[in-house]
């Protein structure tokens, strides 16, 4: 089991192979904690969609020379 703590204080406990569920502990505005689990693959799919959209934006802004590596 690995642990990652985000810059906003959210703590993620997960399997190194991203199998199973990710345990998440988030701090609310009132200082209380929320604990929940999300399937690791759902998180991977969410991040993949974000990366895909960012790459599309970059491709759409390329000129011919950049796109064809000329």
Q: Which token pair is 45?
A: 């799919």
CA pair distance 44, 65, nearest whole angstrom? 33
pLDDT the model gives residue 30? 83
pLDDT in tens, 28-63: 888 888 999 999 999 999 999 999 999 999 999 999
Cβ count near 54 (within 10 Å) = 10
What pTM did the predictor assign? 0.76
Residue 69 is given by DSSP the state T
Per the CB < 8 A criterion, the answer to whether 13 and 3 are in contact is yes
pLDDT the model gives residue 31? 80
pLDDT the model gives residue 32? 87
């Amino acid at each position: 089991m690995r642990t990652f703590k985000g810059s906003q204080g959210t703590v993620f406990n997960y399997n190194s192979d991203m199998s199973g569920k990710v345990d998440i502990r988030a701090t609310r505005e009132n200082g209380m904690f929320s604990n929940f689990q999300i399937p690791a693959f759902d998180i991977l799919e969410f991040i993949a969609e974000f990366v895909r959209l960012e790459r599309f934006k970059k491709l759409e802004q390329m000129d011919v020379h950049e796109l064809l590596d000329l």
